[in-house]
């Protein structure tokens, strides 16, 4: 059997992504108890409201036992190596989920388990590079609002930093056939490697430094904080660089008449998004938040199913 680690959304494969979203869309009562008698480790090196709570509740809904572990408790690379933390948690848990400062930590944890032929998947609950569980909830939300076909017909415009949330979202959208755009200031946009990976799934991606151009006629406007966790020292320069990149009422006016507004949260009203927009009638941010749990239930159920093993590994 091959274990499927989920470092980034493309680790699911196109069919896997579709399967996870289908499982996520099922009523919780139909999910059964595939995690009965199993533990799931939830390690957090950074704070979390949505990811921690949605993950705990998803594990419980599948009959499993979630164990929330603060980063300092296990002390990755402080108390013992990331590899030893992974080997230890795998003694007790069927799945290891972790939110880490450095994406490489997840790779090392997964690598240590693979090397030892320990069949426990590692799931990324946010790293500096990727946030695949958020992208699952975002795609689920777009499917609910517009339908699968409708979502593919509407450009998704991301306004802001080409960060972890954007990267997973853009890859996921490309895998699902949803065209995307990104408007970001100079120095904060996608790398050529990002664009190559996104395009490799066949979806279209347009880049611009003009928020109005990105938003024009778009079916969804999406943003995230300008200063991510771990970048606090850069806050002043980022605030200056991103001036003019707020999703506000004027920007929403140029989007499609039925456009929705998305944000992974936490939101900073008056910075990347105006209060009127995030709290307004076209905002779907609370639906996104609620979908984090459904998406996680779908992902965990898929990971312990035979389907995850089919189709190979990373």
Nearer to ligand NVA, 11 or 128 (CB): 128
Report the alpha-carbon distance of residue 4 to residue 307 in Å, rounded.
10
Nearer to ligand CP, 51 or 105 (CB): 51
| Residue 99 is among the residues annotated as catalytic for this protein | yes
| Residue 131 is among the residues annotated as catalytic for this protein | yes
Query: Which of ligand NVA, ligand CP, none does residue 49 bind (CB under 5 to 8 Å by kind)?
Result: ligand CP
265 touching ligand CP, by CB under 6 A: yes
262 touching ligand CP, by CB under 6 A: no
The closest residue (CB) to ligand CP is 51
165 touching ligand NVA, by CB under 6 A: yes
For the window 257-276, what string marks contact with ligand NVA as x by the rule CB under 6 A? -------x------------
Q: Which residue among 126, 156, 218, 262 contacts ligand CP (CB under 6 A)?
A: 126
264 touching ligand CP, by CB under 6 A: yes
Footprint on residues 206-245 left by ligand NVA (CB under 6 A): 224-225, 228-229
| Residue 128 is among the residues annotated as catalytic for this protein | no
| Residue 264 is among the residues annotated as catalytic for this protein | yes
Which position among 99, 154, 238, 297 bears the catalytic label? 99
141 touching ligand CP, by CB under 6 A: no
Q: Which residue among 54, 105, 141, 163 contacts ligand NVA (CB under 6 A)?
A: 163
Nearer to ligand CP, 232 or 306 (CB): 232
Which position among 94, 108, 154, 292 bears the catalytic label? 292
For residues 162 and 188, the answer to whether their CB atoms sit within 8 Å is yes
Report the alpha-carbon distance of residue 166 to residue 217 in Å, rounded.
20
Q: Which residue among 50, 94, 129, 181 contacts ligand CP (CB under 6 A)?
A: 50
Catalytically active residues, by annotation: 99, 131, 134, 224, 264, 292
Interface residues with ligand CP (CB under 6 A) are 48-51, 126, 134, 264-265
């Amino acid at each position: 059997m091959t274990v499927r680690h989920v470092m980034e959304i493309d680790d699911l494969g196109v069919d896997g992504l579709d399967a996870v979203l289908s499982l996520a869309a099922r009523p919780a009562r139909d999910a059964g108890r595939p995690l009965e008698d199993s533990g799931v480790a939830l390690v957090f090196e950074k704070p979390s409201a949505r990811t921690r709570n949605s993950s705990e509740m998803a594990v419980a809904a599948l009959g499993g036992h979630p164990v929330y572990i603060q980063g300092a408790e296990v002390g990755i690379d402080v108390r013992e190596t990331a590899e030893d933390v992974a080997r230890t948690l795998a003694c007790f848990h069927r799945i290891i989920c972790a939110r880490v400062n450095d994406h490489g930590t997840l790779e090392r944890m997964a690598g240590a388990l693979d090397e030892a032929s320990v069949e426990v998947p590692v799931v990324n609950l946010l790293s500096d590079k990727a946030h695949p569980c958020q992208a699952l909830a975002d795609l689920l939300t777009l499917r609910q609002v517009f339908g699968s076909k409708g979502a593919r017909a509407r450009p998704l415009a991301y306004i802001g930093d080409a960060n972890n949330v954007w990267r997973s979202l853009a890859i996921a959208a490309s895998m699902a056939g949803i065209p995307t755009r990104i408007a970001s200031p100079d120095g904060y946009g996608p790398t050529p490697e990002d664009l190559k990976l996104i395009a490799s799934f066949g979806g279209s991606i347009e880049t611009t430094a003009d928020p109005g151009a990105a938003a024009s006629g778009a079916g969804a406007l999406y943003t995230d904080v300008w200063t991510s966790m771990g970048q606090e020292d850069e806050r002043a320069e980022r605030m200056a660089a991103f001036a003019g990149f707020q999703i506000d009422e004027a920007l929403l006016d140029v989007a499609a008449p039925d456009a929705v507004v998305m944000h992974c949260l936490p939101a900073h009203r008056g910075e990347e998004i105006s209060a009127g927009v995030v709290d307004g009638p076209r905002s779907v941010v609370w639906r996104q938040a609620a979908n984090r749990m459904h998406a996680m239930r779908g992902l965990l159920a898929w990971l312990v199913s035979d389907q995850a093993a089919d189709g190979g590994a990373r």
